């Protein structure tokens, strides 16, 4: 459903290959998405921006 929009946005950047300035879909696992589990995992995987967004 969103793939055509992502492709259009990625092509519009004009930069070939991967870039932080392009459209992207980021998959975050259910463990990283768990507010109760995240404090114990934070030392190994510092996902502070994701925790703040929760």
Q: What is the pLDDT along the chain (54 residues), one digit of tens a residue?
A: 778 888 888 788 787 877 777 777 776 666 666 666 666 666 666 665 555 555
Predicted pLDDT of residue 30: 66
Residue 48 domain boundaries: 3-53
Predicted pLDDT of residue 33: 62
Predicted pLDDT of residue 17: 79
Predicted pLDDT of residue 24: 74
Give the total number of structural domains in the chain. 1
- CA atoms within 13 A of residue 2's CA, in its CB half-sphere: 6
- Cβ atoms 45, 32 nearer than 8 A: yes
- Cβ atoms 39, 45 nearer than 8 A: no
């Amino acid at each position: 459903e969103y793939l055509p929009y992502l492709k259009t946005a990625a092509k519009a950047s004009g930069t070939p290959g991967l870039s932080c300035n392009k459209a992207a879909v980021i998959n975050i696992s259910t463990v990283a998405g768990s507010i109760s589990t995240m404090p114990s995992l934070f030392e190994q995987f510092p996902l502070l921006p994701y925790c703040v967004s929760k």
